[in-house]
């Protein structure tokens, strides 16, 4: 992309704030590992880059002509007219200039509007003229603003021609001296008048068009003015010497100006005698203008007074209209409302009502016909305080994800209600974009991604409307702004994809905040109804991808979670001290053990440190460990969906166990459940394996049933109430009762929580484990064998292990699962898409990035090969983008497009307002050998552009000349 000489590109205030937003969201995404947040941030960054190129290309297609104003007197205002021609698509244009008079540069002037290719834009720049003398515009700059108003690209334009500011006429000036005006050539005294034709003379500036002899012009091509005369009469002799009594030079000039005005008013001829200038007797508009121009240049020229100079240098601040366009403001409110939608399921209902009420009232209030009052600032402040108090009461904190995002949404809605200026309206779009990033705390699924992208397009379209509301005036559904913003986002997508793939991703956060999780999942303890309530939740807990390898059968899909070893008669809890004080147990693999399972576990966020691994886990990812309870856990619980690589293998665990731990797993509170204790007491004389068998037989033959809605058990002796009373329950009831019986029989036993089963998705060849698959089972310790898993639930409902929960509830003894419905099959296909999305988009992290780089032959982030690959990627992405921008910036007019191609070929951009002939002359100075061809190109262009309708062959000849040109 060529850059015109003298071009100046800088971000606007909105563009600077936009870039700050991108940096802020990038820092947040790095800290909280928001993969989709990276994508949106880089998309916005790409938009920021593309709009810069857009502004650069747009400024090259502007033509500017500065038209000087009519003559004005000192102390008055005169208006320069800037004529802007747009050769490309319609866009926002600004013209900047500074008036200079008497060596003093005045305050900068600015004019703006929408330049369209089918019409000329006329911008008026009012200029104060404090004193007489030459005045002209200097430092003229033409600037193009991109669609979103993020960049301001300017180029220097030719300065204006000087305008002579005439002196101010003296008030109540004395009457000038009169004289007899005589004619020449006749005996009779005659003078210029309107009675008889006297002849023709050369045209002088200021002569009336009615006096031009058009017949002579047609015949000779020279402008001649007809003269008339009349009998001699009286005239005025305006002499410098006769103003000596006026005092200063300026006072004398002012008096002469008053006399000129008097002569014009009385229609009298006059002469003017100045120290270095004499104007012969005459009258009419030309005579008056010549006299005033001479008076404007009398030396010495005056300098502005200190007050006038200070006023001239005061910065110019264009005022925005007080009344905001109703349509543009409502469009912004609509975009904000749509951007709030993903957060609604996470917030209380009263927050929804507050947001709807505030935005709804604001949308109605902007219509002046309704005459609704503005919301007082005190009411807005009180609403914000009450909302903060309500959120703190609902969530217990304002730093959590739900509470923080809800508070941000409320503040944004209140900001919309108090919007009064264009600055506030533009700020709404930036705040809305920031809010969109926070939605990824709750979900990074494809539905959320689509909604966020559409909301971003809406917010950017709203920002485009505020750059120049006249550009996008009309109903919301008109698609012009949508097309512009959609095109920007489409061009920015390759930039976003490149940065998404290669931008370094740290493995840990920059800082930590006590973010509230409020996630469902396994609990730290087992109480009555804990697992049965969880089993009613159909959401995904995790997915396990075996990479095309062997998948364990359903009966072996035990995903180990927390181990509950301490029992107080009511609940089972984890023995955390055992991990630090007891000796680690042994893990032994047998020679004939089946091959290990290698799999990738994609865990949904739970806020818990445990990794749900198959029994028995033998290899864990970095920053993780295997506890003494044979549970996989991580040092860094992830707040977002995370992928872990694990390995499990059938093994003997705990054959060498700490005696203190075995003692802990025999403990029972005194005086609890006497009937169950009495039932197990006779088993103590049997071998340990036989005790386990007796307990299993009791449950299998005791008439127990499996249900999700068991009756409420009492606080005291609840095991007795279950075994000898209700005889109905869920997995936690059976695991707890079985462990109690074995401890009563003298066998160390504990309860293990986790998940059992998993639905194989044939479309993705991976297991889906849902919250409803949560399960609890028992482990018993047998000498010589170690810890052995016993699942008492399988004794009551074998289908729970061999099929799934739904089949087990309806057909406890079934061996095969119920066939899937068409809706379930469709849901599995969507889940396969969701799984791929999670693995390659939402779950893309530093480890996957390193894997990708290694496949590309790049050693690592920051290395020389990495920097080279990144540079090549940037070039491959940006070059097509700039080519597309260049193509769109090409003028639509065929002749102008040909001249544009010439400037691209010569690498010499046209200056704003530069004609084809002037451009050809300037280009010939740089390329003398091409002077003849360039002159011919300019002539053909002028004929095509300004001559009569030319046949298509002329345009082809012009294009052929340009194609054949060689530098």
Instruction: List the catalytic residues.
Output: 731, 775, 791
Q: Within 10 A of 287 (CB to CB), how many other CB atoms are there?
A: 23
Q: What are phi and psi of 671, to 5 degrees?
A: 80, 0
Alpha helices in 657-756 (DSSP H): 659-664, 674-680, 688-700, 718-721, 731-744
Strand order from edge to edge, sheet including 624-626 = 610-611, 632-634, 624-626
CB 232 within 8 A of CB 189: yes
Task: Give me the residue label for tokens 């200029």.
Answer: 127
Cα-Cα end-to-end distance for the chain: 19
203/222 Cα distance (integer angstroms): 9
Q: Is 793 exposed, middle or buried (0-12, 13-18, 19+ CB in 10 A)?
A: buried
Closest by Cα among 925, 926, 919 to 941: 919
Helix spans in 701-839 (H): 718-721, 731-744, 792-796, 799-802, 805-810, 822-837
Q: 731, 776 in Cβ contact below 8 A? A: yes
Got the DSSP string for 5-42? TT-EEEE-HHHHHHHHHHHHHHHHHHHHT-HHHHHHHH
C-alpha separations of 525 from 117, 521, 537 in Å: 73, 12, 18
Kind plus residue range of the DSSP H or E element containing 236 = strand 233-239
Whole-number Å distance between alpha carbons of 52 and 882: 11
Question: How far apart are alpha carbons 89 and 112 in whole angstroms?
Answer: 16
* DSSP-derived 3-state class of residue 109: strand
**Dist CA 801 CA 803 (whole Å):** 6
192 contact partners, CB below 8 Å, separation of at least 6: 183, 198, 227, 228, 229, 230, 269, 281, 282, 283
Q: How many helices (H) and strands (E) does the chain have?
A: 30, 37
Rounded Cα gap, residues 648 and 644, in angstroms: 13
Sheet architecture: strand order including 642-648: 617-619, 642-648, 597-603, 540-545, 766-770, 759-761
CB 84 within 8 A of CB 76: no
In degrees, rounded to 5, the angle at the alpha carbon of residue 451 between the alpha carbons of residues 845 and 147 is: 95
Annotate 861-924 with DSSP letters as a single string. TTSHHHHHHHHHHHHHHHHHHHHHHHHHHS-SSHHHHHHHHHHHHHT-PPPTT--HHHHHHHHH
- Which H helix or E strand runs over 588? strand 587-588
Angle among Cα 126, 128, 133 to the nearest 5 degrees reads 120
CB 734 within 8 A of CB 699: yes
Lateral strand order in the sheet of 77-86: 62-67, 77-86, 120-128
Element (H, E) at 77: strand 77-86
Helix (H) or strand (E) holding 239: strand 233-239
Q: By 3-state DSSP, what share of the chain in percent is helix, strand and coil, each rounded to 5? A: 45, 20, 35
């Amino acid at each position: 992309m060529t850059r015109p000489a003298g071009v100046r590109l800088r971000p606007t205030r909105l563009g600077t704030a936009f870039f700050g937003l991108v940096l802020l969201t990038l820092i947040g995404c790095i800290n909280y590992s928001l993969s989709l947040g990276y994508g949106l941030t880089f998309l916005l960054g790409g938009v920021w880059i593309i709009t810069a190129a857009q502004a650069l290309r747009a400024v090259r297609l502007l033509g500017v002509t500065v038209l000087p104003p009519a003559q004005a007197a000192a102390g008055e205002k005169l208006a320069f007219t800037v004529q802007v021609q747009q050769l490309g698509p319609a866009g926002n244009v600004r013209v900047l200039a500074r008036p200079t008079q008497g060596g003093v540069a005045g305050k900068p002037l600015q004019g703006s509007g929408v330049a369209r290719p089918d019409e000329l834009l006329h911008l008026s720049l009012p200029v104060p003229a404090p004193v007489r003398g030459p005045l002209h515009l200097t430092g003229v700059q033409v600037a193009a603003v991109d669609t979103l108003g993020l960049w301001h690209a300017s180029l220097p334009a030719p300065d204006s021609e000087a305008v002579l500011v005439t002196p101010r006429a003296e008030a109540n000036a004395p009457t000038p001296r009169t004289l007899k005006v005589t004619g020449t050539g006749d005996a009779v005294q005659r003078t210029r008048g309107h009675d008889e034709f006297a002849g023709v003379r050369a045209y002088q500036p200021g002569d009336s068009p009615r006096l031009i002899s058009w017949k002579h012009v047609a015949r000779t091509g020279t402008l001649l003015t007809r003269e008339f005369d009349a009998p001699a009469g009286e005239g005025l002799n305006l002499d410098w010497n006769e103003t000596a009594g006026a005092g200063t030079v300026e006072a004398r000039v002012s008096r002469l100006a008053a006399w000129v005005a008097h002569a014009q008013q009385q229609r009298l001829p006059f002469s003017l005698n100045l120290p270095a200038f004499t104007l012969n007797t005459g009258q009419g508009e030309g005579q008056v203008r010549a006299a005033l121009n001479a008076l404007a240049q009398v030396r010495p020229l005056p300098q502005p007074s200190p007050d006038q100079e200070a006023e001239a240098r005061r910065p110019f601040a264009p005022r925005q209209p007080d009344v905001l366009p109703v349509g543009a403001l409502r469009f912004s409110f609509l975009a904000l409302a749509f951007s709030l939608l993903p957060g609604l399921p996470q917030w209380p209902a009263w927050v929804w009502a507050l947001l709807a009420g505030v935005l709804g009232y604001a949308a109605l209030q902007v219509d002046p016909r309704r005459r609704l009052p503005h919301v007082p600032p005190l009411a807005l402040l009180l609403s914000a305080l009450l909302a903060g108090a309500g959120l703190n009461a609902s969530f217990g904190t304002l730093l959590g994800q739900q509470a923080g995002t809800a508070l941000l949404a409320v503040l944004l809605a209140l900001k919309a209600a108090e919007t009064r200026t264009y600055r506030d309206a533009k700020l709404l779009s930036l705040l809305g974009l920031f809010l969109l990033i926070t939605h990824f705390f709750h979900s990074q699924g494809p539905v959320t991604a689509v909604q966020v992208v559409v909301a971003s397009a809406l917010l950017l379209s709203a920002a485009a409307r505020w750059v120049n509301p006249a550009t996008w005036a009309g109903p919301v559904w008109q698609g012009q702004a949508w097309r512009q913003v959609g095109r920007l986002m489409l061009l920015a997508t390759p930039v976003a994809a490149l940065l998404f793939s290669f931008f370094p991703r740290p493995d840990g956060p920059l800082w930590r905040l006590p973010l509230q999780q409020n996630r469902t999942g396994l609990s730290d303890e087992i109480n009555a109804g804990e697992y049965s309530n969880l089993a009613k939740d159909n959401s995904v807990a995790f997915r396990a991808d075996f990479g095309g390898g062997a998948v364990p059968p359903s009966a072996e899909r035990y995903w180990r979670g927390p181990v509950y070893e301490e029992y107080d008669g009511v609940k089972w809890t984890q023995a955390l001290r055992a991990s630090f004080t007891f000796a680690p147990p042994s893990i032994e693999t047998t020679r004939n053990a089946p091959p290990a399972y290698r799999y990738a576990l994609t865990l949904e966020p739970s806020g818990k440190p445990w990794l749900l691994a198959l029994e028995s886990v033998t290899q864990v990812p970095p920053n993780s460990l295997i506890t003494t309870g044979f549970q996989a856990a991580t040092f860094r619980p992830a707040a977002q969906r995370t992928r872990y690589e694990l390995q499990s293998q059938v093994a003997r665990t705990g054959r060498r166990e700490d005696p203190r731990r075995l003692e802990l797993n025999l403990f029972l509170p005194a005086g609890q459940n006497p009937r169950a204790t009495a039932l197990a007491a006779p088993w103590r004389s049997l071998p340990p394996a036989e005790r386990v068998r007796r307990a299993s037989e009791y449950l299998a033959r005791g008439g127990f049933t499996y249900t999700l809605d068991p009756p409420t058990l009492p606080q005291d002796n609840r095991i007795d109430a279950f075994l000898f009373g209700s005889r109905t329950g869920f997995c936690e009831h059976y695991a707890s009762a079985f462990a109690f019986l074995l401890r009563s029989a003298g066998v160390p036993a504990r309860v293990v929580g986790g998940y059992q089963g998993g639905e194989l998705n044939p479309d993705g060849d991976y297991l889906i484990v849902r919250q409803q698959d949560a399960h609890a089972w028992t482990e018993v310790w047998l000498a010589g064998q170690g810890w052995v898993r016993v699942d008492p639930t399988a004794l009551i409902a074998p289908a729970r292990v061999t099929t799934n929960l739904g089949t087990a509830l309806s057909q406890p003894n079934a061996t095969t699962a119920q066939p899937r419905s068409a809706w379930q099959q469709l849901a599995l296909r969507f889940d396969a898409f969701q799984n791929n999305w999670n693995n390659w988009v939402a779950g893309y992290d530093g480890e996957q990035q390193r894997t990708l780089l290694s496949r590309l032959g790049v050693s690592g982030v920051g290395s020389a090969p990495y920097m080279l690959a990144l540079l090549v990627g940037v070039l491959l992405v940006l070059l097509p983008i700039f080519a597309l921008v260049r193509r769109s910036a090409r003028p639509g007019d065929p002749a102008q497009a040909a001249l544009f191609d010439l400037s691209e070929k010569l690498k010499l951009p046209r200056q704003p307002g530069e004609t084809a002939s002037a451009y050809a002359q300037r280009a010939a100075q740089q390329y003398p050998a091409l002077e003849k061809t360039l002159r011919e190109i300019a002539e053909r262009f002028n004929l095509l552009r300004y001559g009569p309708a030319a046949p298509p062959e002329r345009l082809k000849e012009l294009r052929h000349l340009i194609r054949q040109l060689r530098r």
